[in-house]
Amino acid sequence: MNKVPFVNKEQIEEIVKTYPTPFHIYDEKGIRENAQAVKEAFAWNKGFKEYFAVKANPNPFLIQILREYGCGCDCSSKTELMLSKAIGATGSDIMFSSNDTPAEEFVYANELGATINLDDFTHIEFLEKTIGKLPETLSCRYNPGGVFKMSNGIMDNPGDSKYGFTTEQLFEGFKIMKEKGVKNFGIHSFLASNTVTNEYYPMLAKQLFELAVKLRDETGAHITFINLSGGVGIPYTPDKEPNDIRAIGEGVRKVYEEILVPAGMGDIAIYTEMGRFMMGPYGALVTKAIHEKHTHKEYIGVDACAVNLMRPAMYGAYHHITVLGKEDAVCDHKYDVTGSLCENNDKFAIDRNLPQIDKGDYLVIHDTGAHGFAMGYNYNGKLKSAELLLQEDGGVKLIRRAEEPKDYFATLDCFEIFKELGSK
């Protein structure tokens, strides 16, 4: 597959007249088409709801777009809850899937009427003590341990992950919760990350549906929803095919009809908490080549750095790069594309074959719509970039301004000298 950016050179040259690089830009058309496809793929399930994983991209303007397609918010912290509330998502529009949760965050989630998804057996008692009485609807995160295998060899290692209840804890937990007055139960599980295959959700669903039948039979719990959580991936590299959400929805429907319907559980709602799949491909980091360096290797220095996109530095993640205006040029140069942090892992690409890059060229770093800007930080005193929305009509809207020095100094207002810097 040839990865083509959703913006071209002419558009970027126009945009930078108002908004200098670096910035993240998002593709409204792509976001909408994908959200519609997700909605249609699961339309067979009456209670279906996608709770967008806010952590993947906490920009309220983008989440508002998803809200138009019926999406709720999956939150894991107080500020994410506050953000959701501010854009009108409360009550059953919020899934609170957190872990190692501070008491005050449970209190706030409960105040908002969010559906709480417990990460641990001990949180049953912790939640009860914290808010007085368990809510009528409560969900538990399940972790069967072991490894999760699929036919194409992709797997993940739930046995190594910090999340969720064991099988025994789940059965015991449901019994206790039922005694304590919980009426509606949910099961949640996230067993593999960034799965670029249509198999993951159906396989996970089968496992959870079978579990749901057993849980109902053994504990008498009334299970009202099953949350397949996140993990549906996107192809970061050009050799991979994107997932087909309609095939995924059909796959889940098939096992639903095989397992839940015959068990008399055909009213269970399917929830998802996709982050990456909803937003990842529809964001790009646009940056300018400002230096070239010829030493032991060939380096291109750009005006973005790992604070704008941490995934390559943190996980060695691949993000495709297009040099605007040179889409069809031969990739006969091998570069390390670097940012300016005083950290040698601040590289967007290592030994990447690209066309010859000249100073002033604009580079589009693909697939930054999820876990991109969101993971930003301020190391080396670097400031976070602006976020722009490329609207369906081709117009561009600022949806988050770039940080300024005053933002960096704002939390030092306990010092007289910084009070002044923080207010400028």
Ligand X SMILES: *Cc1c(COP(=O)(O)O)cnc(C)c1O
| 25, 349, 370, 388: which one binds ligand X (CB under 6 A) | 370
Q: Dihedral of CA 244/255/159/217: which sign?
A: positive
Number of residues that bind ligand X (CB under 6 A): 17
Binding test (CB under 6 A) with ligand X, winner from 80, 273, 346, 361:
273
Sole window of 27-35, 52-60, 167-175, 251-259 interacting with ligand X (rule: CB under 6 A): 52-60
Residues 197-226 that bind ligand X (CB under 6 A): none
Asked if 54 is part of the footprint of ligand X (rule: CB under 6 A), the reply reads no
Question: How many whole angstroms separate alpha carbon 187 and alpha carbon 142?
Answer: 7
DSSP character string of 133-163? S--SEEEEEB---S-EE-TTS-EE-GGG-S-
Residues of span 84-103 touching ligand X by CB under 6 A: 97
In the complex with ligand X, the residue whose CB is nearer, 54 or 323, is 54
Residue selected from 72, 275, 339, 376 as contacting ligand X according to rule CB under 6 A: 275
Among 8, 193, 340, 345, binds ligand X (CB under 6 A): 193
Q: How far is the CB of 212 from ligand X (least distance, A)?
A: 19
Q: Does 74 participate in binding ligand X (rule CB under 6 A)? A: yes
Contacting ligand X (CB under 6 A), which of 6, 26, 48, 190? 190
Q: Least CB distance from residue 118 to ligand X, whole Å?
A: 12
Residue closer to ligand X, measured from CB, 278 or 337: 278
For position 230 contacting ligand X by CB under 6 A, the verdict is yes
Q: Which is nearer to ligand X, 27 or 80 (CB)?
A: 80
Check binding of 228 to ligand X (CB under 6 A). Answer: no
CB of 119 to ligand X, least distance (A): 9
- Do residues 180 and 217 make contact, with C-beta atoms less than 8 angstroms apart? no
Would you say 136 and 184 are in contact if contact means Cβ atoms under 8 Å apart?
yes
CB environment 94-113: b (16+ within 10 A), e (fewer) = bbbbbeebeeebbebbbebe
Two tokens, residue 90: 């409360």
Asked whether position 335 contacts ligand X by CB under 6 A, the answer is no
Binding residue (CB under 6 A) for ligand X from 15, 31, 54, 56: 56
Among 24, 49, 55, 320, binds ligand X (CB under 6 A): 55
Residue 231 lies near ligand X (rule: CB under 6 A): yes
Minimum distance between the CB of residue 95 and ligand X, rounded to whole angstroms? 8
User: Which residues would be at the binding site for ligand X (CB under 6 A)?
Assistant: 53, 55-56, 74, 97, 190, 193, 229-232, 273-277, 370
